[in-house]
Structures are given as structure tokens and as C-alpha cells.
Amino acid sequence: MPRTPQQDRSRETRRKLLDAAVTVLSGQGAAATTVSAVASEAGVSRGAAQHHFATRDVLIEETVTEFFNALTHQLRTTVADLPTGPDGASTEDVVRLVAESFASDSFRAALHVWSAAAGPEGELRDLIIAADSRYAREVHQLMGLALDADLSDHATRELLRMTVDLARGLGLGAVLVDNSEHRRRVIDRWAGILSDGIVRND
Amino acid sequence: MPRTPQQDRSRETRRKLLDAAVTVLSGQGAAATTVSAVASEAGVSRGAAQHHFATRDVLIEETVTEFFNALTHQLRTTVADLPTGPDGASTEDVVRLVAESFASDSFRAALHVWSAAAGPEGELRDLIIAADSRYAREVHQLMGLALDADLSDHATRELLRMTVDLARGLGLGAVLVDNSEHRRRVIDRWAGILSDGIVRND
């Protein structure tokens, strides 16, 4: 059944509000992220915003969830584009993909979300920890698949997790300066270490 | 010449104001970090605060500089405590030290400072980039000394820099959850990789 124009508009308004919520959360912090402030940022009436998000808690919860869902979707799509089979993606391709995903604008926004989580607000903190941990698991799974890695091997899992640690650290550096030249060399070197260290499926 | 009680008091007030500035900057962002707000947080009169920091720009500049100086001082002291000589510090000791320094409360505060730097405020951004880059160079130098590494070797310098990338990524993870168990295993494994990879001085 095709969607009605009204359903399309409603969906578009929701999308606008969620994007605006990331902007407000990043720029002004969790305390400033109210339904009114987000409605105003999105150029949507307060009433229309409240139709979508009845309370501030619901708005923040859905914003954080959607934000990490979008990151996951982005990563899945990029991994799906990698070549497969015997001449499939090189370890370097996979490491580059992970490293670059943490050096993106989304990571910059995620940094603000993490920074908010480091604050004292308990509920937001728990929410972000759960969403971030789902995201990290997803990255490990996707890397495992792309590399045909044996995830039952302890050292292999550890090395995949270290790839994410390293990518996060490089991403943090990239927030300040363009470290793409350094990142390129690190990707090269880490791909070698990873390739030697992981166990592949038979 | 011994300091007068008045000089001591002045020094203490300055210290209080700088600590309060880190609290305000971390919690409420750069825009909220005014001389008045910091004076109020420190429990110091606005006049006394302005005696130390005439303008908001001077206050923020000195806060960021002092913050990174304190991080550097902390690291130098810890490195100086490592055993030296032929039975000196192991690579693992040095990696642990760097990793733990990025998982400290200071790093949590630094994350807020970085997060502020990711914002649009140009001047603060340049200041933080310069201070952070001085700090990173200091970490490389100190690691090099502690490991007796040949810093003229390109691959050695790259591996020391990767240690900092990895430590930053682990530190970012530690903001959300206690990852000390994982960190311990990463320190172990990275120390092995580093020890095999770096060139030592003759």
C-alpha cells in the first residue's frame, strides 16, 4: 500500500526533529535539549513536535537510538560494498573502512554524545552506554565477516576489538587536526599486524 | 626570599579560579565560561577574579594552557618514577603508564576540552590544537626516553605515535564503562608488538 502524502510529511517532520536534536545535543548539551528548543531548531511548531515526541525523555532516547542506528546502517552498507570471495577484501580494506568510519562527521557528533554521557545525567548515560555497546558489537561482527575471521578464537576477538580502540583514538585525533596522512600509515601497519594475528575460518 | 602570606593567598585564588574554569568549561561549554561564572563557581568575588584574569579570552587561554601543563607534569613525574638502567622499565610498564594516563579523570576533562574544540569557536580551537600537539610530542619524547628508543628511526616514531592513538581510544571507551580488564590485555599485547617493532639506541 503506497504511503499517503500526509504520512510522507509526518515522516519528514520526524526526520527533521531528530536531526535538529543531534545538532542541539552536540552544540548545547543534554540539559538544553528540550522539545521546544529542538522544534525551534527544526523550524517546526511546538505542537507538531510534541505530536512526535510527547516528552523530552522520549525525544532524547529516540535521538540517541536513531543516531547509533544510523551509524550501524552506514557501516553495514559500506561493508556490503566490499568485494567477497577468494579475491575478496584485503585486511587493509577492512581496517581502512573501520578507521575512516571513526574519522567521519558522525564520529564528531558521537563525541558530543559521549561527552554528554560522561556528565552526571544517569538516564542518558545508561542509554548511551547500551547503544554504544551494541554498536561496538556490530562493528566486531561485521569486521569478522569481512575478514572471514574465526570469532570463537579469543586472540582474534581481542585484535578486532583493538582495531576499534585504535580507530576511536585516531578519530579523536582527527577532531582536532587533519591526521589523514598519519591515519593512512597506521592503517597500513595495523593491517599487517592484524593479518598475521587473526585466525581465519577454514 | 620566602613568599608573603599575601602572595600565597593570591596564588591560591588563582589556582581556585583555574580549577573552577575547568569545571565550567567541561560542564557548560566554552560559551558559558565567563569571568563571572568562573568567579561564582570558585566562590571568589568578581573583582578579585578580574584582578587575575582581565578578560574571558585570557581566562580561557590560561585555563587550557594550565590544563595541558598539569597533564604533562603528571606524566613526567610518573615516567621519572620508572626504574632505569639495564634492569629498567619493561615495555609493558611504559605502555601501561601511557594507557592509564589516558583513562584518568584528567582525560575525562580533556575530552570536554576537545569536544569544545570541535565546536565552531576558532580561537579556542587553535589554542587547544597547539596545546594538545605539544602534549602529544611530550608523550612521544618521554616514551622514547623510557624505552631507550631510537627516535631517528621512522617506524619507531610511528609505533610510539600509535601507542598514543590506542591509549586515546581506550580512554574514550573508559569514559563510558569500566574497561580496565580489556585494557590490561591490550597493554600486554601491544607491549609485545611494540617491543618487537621499535629500534633501540645502541
Which of A108, A128, A170 comes nearest B176 by C-beta? A128
Do B48 and B68 reside in the same domain of the chain?
no
pLDDT tens digit sequence for B130-163? 888 888 888 999 999 889 999 999 999 999 999 9
A149 forms bridges with which residues in the sheet? A200
The percent helix, strand, coil of chain A (3-state, each to 5) is 75, 0, 20
Nearest-CA residue of chain A relative to B177?
Answer: A129
pLDDT tens digit sequence for B1-25? 677 888 888 999 999 999 999 888 7
Looking at the domain assignment, is residue A59 inside a domain? no
Per-residue pLDDT, A188: 94
Do A98 and A177 reside in the same domain of the chain?
yes
| Range A14-21 average pLDDT | 92
Whether B162 sits inside 8 A of A29 (CB atoms) is: no
- CA end-to-end distance (rounded Å), chain A: 46
Query: Residue A125 carries which side chain, given as an amino acid letter?
Result: R
Which of A117, A132, A176 comes nearest B128 by C-beta? A176
Whether B169 sits inside 8 A of A173 (CB atoms) is: no
Last residue of a domain, one of B16, B35, B54: B54
Looking at the domain assignment, is residue A202 inside a domain? no
Query: Mutate which of A115, A128, A139 to disrupt the B interface (most B C-beta within 10 Å)?
Result: A115
SS3 assignment for A66-84: HHHHHHHHHHHHHHHCCCC
Closest CA to A175 of A104, A96, A98: A104
Q: Predicted confidence band at B82 (pLDDT cuts at 50, 70, 90)? A: confident
From the CB of residue A101, how many other CB atoms can be counted at a distance below 10 Å? 19
Per-residue pLDDT, B117: 58
Say if CB B89 and CB B146 are below 8 A apart. Answer: yes
Do A100 and A189 reside in the same domain of the chain?
yes
Per-residue pLDDT, B123: 63
Do A73 and A48 reside in the same domain of the chain?
no
pLDDT at A121 over 60: no
Closest CA to A202 of A151, A145, A161, A150: A150
B114 and A CB contact within 8 Å: yes
Whether A172 sits inside 8 A of B115 (CB atoms) is: no
Do B103 and B140 reside in the same domain of the chain?
yes
Whether A165 sits inside 8 A of B164 (CB atoms) is: no
Judging contacts by C-beta atoms under 8 Å, the chain A residues touching residue B101 are none
Closest CA to A157 of A174, A136, A127: A136
Last residue of a domain, one of B35, B54, B73: B54
Per-residue pLDDT, A92: 93
pLDDT tens digit sequence for B31-45? 778 999 999 999 999
Q: Predicted confidence band at B175 (pLDDT cuts at 50, 70, 90)? A: confident
A117 and B CB contact within 8 Å: yes
The percent helix, strand, coil of chain B (3-state, each to 5) is 75, 0, 20
Looking at the domain assignment, is residue B202 inside a domain? no
Say if CB B150 and CB B98 are below 8 A apart. Answer: no
Per-residue pLDDT, A46: 95
Whether B112 sits inside 8 A of A118 (CB atoms) is: yes
Do A189 and A139 reside in the same domain of the chain?
yes
Per-residue pLDDT, A67: 82
Question: B172 vs chain A: nearest CA distance in angstroms?
Answer: 7
Looking at the domain assignment, is residue A74 inside a domain? yes
pLDDT at B92 over 60: yes
Looking at the domain assignment, is residue B111 inside a domain? yes
Per-residue pLDDT, A45: 96
A200 forms bridges with which residues in the sheet? A149
Which residues form the domain of A70? 64-197
Whether B169 sits inside 8 A of A164 (CB atoms) is: yes
Whether B189 sits inside 8 A of A158 (CB atoms) is: yes
The number of distinct structural domains making up chain A is 2
Do A14 and A105 reside in the same domain of the chain?
no
Say if CB B168 and CB A147 are below 8 A apart. Answer: no
Do A152 and A190 reside in the same domain of the chain?
yes
Judging contacts by C-beta atoms under 8 Å, the chain B residues touching residue A171 are 169
Do B121 and B148 reside in the same domain of the chain?
yes
Do B40 and B85 reside in the same domain of the chain?
no
A112 and B CB contact within 8 Å: yes
Do A36 and A90 reside in the same domain of the chain?
no
Whether A115 sits inside 8 A of B112 (CB atoms) is: yes
SS3 assignment for B80-110: HCCCCCCCCCCHHHHHHHHHHHCCCHHHHHH
Average pLDDT, chain A: 85
Q: Predicted confidence band at A143 (pLDDT cuts at 50, 70, 90)? A: very high
CATH number, domain at A29? Answer: 1.10.10.60
Q: Which of residues 11-30 of A touch B (CB under 8 A)?
A: 27-29
CA distances from B118 to A25, A30, A170, B77 (A): 14, 17, 15, 30
Q: How far is CA A191 from the centre of its chain?
A: 22
Per-residue pLDDT, A118: 58
Q: Which of A2-6, A31-35, A191-195 has the lowest mean pLDDT?
A: A2-6
